[in-house]
Structure 1
Amino acid sequence: MLEVSDLHAYYGKSHILQGVDMHVDAGEVVSLLGRNGVGRSTTVKAIMGEVAPHGAIRFKGQDIAGLPNHRIARLGLGYVPENRDIFPTLTVRQNLLMGVKDPRKPGKWKLDDMLAMFPNLAARADTAAGVLSGGEKQMLTICRTMMGDPELIMIDEPTEGLAPLIVQQVGDLIAEIARRGVAILLVEQKLSIAMRISHRVYVMGHGRVVFEGTPADLKGNASVRKEWLEV
């Protein structure tokens, strides 16, 4: 579904991505792991058109490298950035409805479904989103993206700075998205979530992929974990 080949990206003169190769198949959950600063977030930003990509990026067989991000989104690729962008003065309900791409073509993710799945959001449906907790804002951001009915969603650091209980709830939400058949590319620091829900994992180091395999493969490879993941 998503194929990335020899992907490079730059911030000014800094060469951040140095030939990233990866793929995500339909219905698959893939986690992108690694220490801070190795290029994980830049990878999803380059795929989504937030950073200028150099290389091949194909989504459902179509070359999307360099397309405007609104066109990429309309092809069915969702993106949840790590900064939890919401509209703080709009209500939770209004934020969710902002995620709908075409009201004339209702998707499989509906407002009532989202509110039923997450009682916290339902209880605050008519409250300004700016007063939500960090965890509630994260759930709202993910749910708003799902309202656009993506076939693949890229989620960047969804559990950063959240309390353990909220981390579990966010992990459950991501698992539910996967159960409904949406492919996921997850950028995550916490190995526990990635190892629990992923079919495959990539480990990045110095702007390139240094390991690809199943969670079991990574669990059994102490040298990779020690060199590229452990602090």
Structure 2
Amino acid sequence: MLEVTDLHAYYGKSHILQGVDFKVQEGEIVALLGRNGVGRSTTCKAVMGEVPPRGSVKFRGKELAGKPSYEVAKAGIGYVPENRDIFPGLTTKQNLTLGLKPGQKDGQGRWSMDMMFDAFPNLRERADVDAAVLSGGEKQMLTVCRSLMGDPDFVMIDEPTEGLAPKIVEQVGDMLEMIAKRGVSILLVEQKLTIALRIATRVYVMGHGRMVFEGTPEELTANEAIRKEWLEV
């Protein structure tokens, strides 16, 4: 589905991504792990066109590298950034409506507002409340649901459990598994090994702007050297 080859990205003169290669297949949840500052979020932004990429980003065989973000989104890629960019002065319903593509009506894709509310009853209870008053977990669910309203085939989700209580972390994990079961592939950028290893099909570990490990969750669990060098504090 998504094939990234020799991806480079820069912030000014800083060479952040230094030849990143990875793939995400249909129906997979792929976890991208690594310490802060190694380039995981930049990888998502480069795929999405928010950071100018050098290299190849192919989605279902179509080259997207260098395309503007709106064309990447139209191709079927969703993106949930780590800073939970909601519109605080708009209601939960209004935020979800903004996730629809131009010309798309609610319910035309795999997801509808009612389905979002059925999956996350907390959001239904706060449907007409300004998003500013939502809890951290509710805001995270809202940002994911807003992306799904555009009916992407593949979604990149950056640090969805950061700052959340353990119970909410489990809910987010269940939510991601539910999304994958409905045919949406996921690239999950995550710090928490526990949740990533529980739900991921495959795992990549990033260090110093390139991939240093690829394998199954079981293979990463068994590889103490990789975990000590690139993940553990």
TM-score by length of 1: 0.98
Distance in 2, matches of 1:82 and 1:214, equals: 24
- Correspondence for 2:22: 22
Kindly provide the CA deviation profile for residues 183-230 of structure 1, in whole angstroms up to 9, marking residues without a partner as x: 000000001111111110000000000000000110110100011000
Identical pairs, percent: 68
Distance in 2, matches of 1:150 and 1:197, equals: 20
2:232 partner letter: E
- Please, which moves more after superposition, 30-39 or 167-176? 167-176
- After TM superposition, give the deviation of residue 98 of structure 1 in Å: 1.0
1:175 partner letter: E
- Match for 1:145 among 126, 133, 147? 147
Unaligned runs of 5+ in 2: none
Kindly provide the CA deviation profile for residues 98-151 of structure 1, in whole angstroms up to 9, marking residues without a partner as x: 111133571010100000111110100000011111111000000000011100
Q: Does 1:103 align with 2:104?
A: yes
Distance in 2, matches of 1:172 and 1:130, equals: 24
Distance in 1, matches of 2:38 and 2:11, equals: 13
Structure 1 segment 1-231 matched on structure 2, within 5 A: 1-101=1-101, 102-104=103-105, 106-231=108-233
Query: What is the root-mean-square deviation in Å for CA atoms of aligned residues?
Result: 0.9
Across the two proteins, how many residue pairs are aligned to each other? 231
Indicate the SS of the match to 1:114: helix
- After TM superposition, give the deviation of residue 170 of structure 1 in Å: 1.1
Distance in 2, matches of 1:103 and 1:200, equals: 33
Indicate the SS of the match to 1:38: coil
- After TM superposition, give the deviation of residue 172 of structure 1 in Å: 1.1
Unaligned runs of 5+ in 1: none
Distance in 2, matches of 1:117 and 1:205, equals: 36
